[in-house]
Amino acid sequence: MDPSSTLVYLDLAWWRSTIGTRGRVHIRLSPNTPVGKQFMLLCTGQTGVSYRNAKLHDVEYKGEPGECVLGGDYEGMGGVGGAEIIDTSGGQYRKSRRAGDVRWWYDDDAKAAQFAFTTSDWKGRGVYYDVFGEVVSGLEVVRAAANQTDITQVTVVDCGIVLNQ
């Protein structure tokens, strides 16, 4: 499926005492981005690996402009894994400063499947590079996850493609 028309979802869940909280995040993937295609494949599990059961692992700039929630380590669950499953070089990525952007989060190839949800507008001088998607609904779910005492308790309990868009 062409990522230019792909709408995917991640269901996030976490526990507060005995009450479970769950919410769905819908993400529209940008066209012409290998990372968007990889994200779609990791949502469907078509290659044998998936974001399902992966934990979110960090919040950068917590409570500040540009706050972002990090996830995508489907291997180690703690932010050190998440190897690419396809060649992610090339592509046309957006630059942005907006809340709701989904961007590639990586330091090296070992983390090429990791991503960041931006929960608030960035007011700094620079922009975020490598934006491959946009949260179209459920940003409040990501913001609620970011406010958890321990972000590593937030799990992707389900993920996939929305067929009837």
Q: How confident is the model at residue 56 (pLDDT cuts 50, 70, 90)?
A: very high
What does the pLDDT read at residue 32? 78
Give domain limits for the chain.
3-161
Could you tell me which residue, 12 or 15, shows the higher pLDDT? 12
How many Å apart are CA 96 and CA 129, to the nearest integer? 7
Cβ-proximal residues to 143 (8 Å cutoff; 6+ apart), any chain: 119
More confident residue, 2 or 120: 120
For residues 18-37, average pLDDT: 85
Quote the DSSP letter at residue 3. G
| Mean pLDDT for the stretch of residues 49-56 | 95
pLDDT at 96: 83
pLDDT of residue 107: 65
Please give the DSSP secondary-structure letter assigned to residue 55.
Answer: B
**pLDDT tier at 3 (50, 70, 90 boundaries)?**
very low
* Whether the Cβ atoms of residue 132 and residue 39 lie closer than 8 Å to each other: yes
Instruction: Say yes or no to pLDDT of 2 above 50.
Output: no
- Phi then psi for residue 145, to 5 deg, are -60, -40
How are beta strands 7-16 and 19-29 bridged, if at all?
antiparallel
Q: Is the pLDDT of residue 1 over 80?
A: no
pLDDT (mean) for 123-129: 70
Report which DSSP code applies to 4.
Answer: G
What is the CATH T-level fold of the domain 3-161, as seen in this structure? Cyclophilin (2.40.100)
pLDDT in tens, 84-121: 899 988 888 888 889 999 998 876 656 789 999 999 99
- Determine the pLDDT at residue 99: 93
Cα separation, 159 vs 116, in Å, equals 16
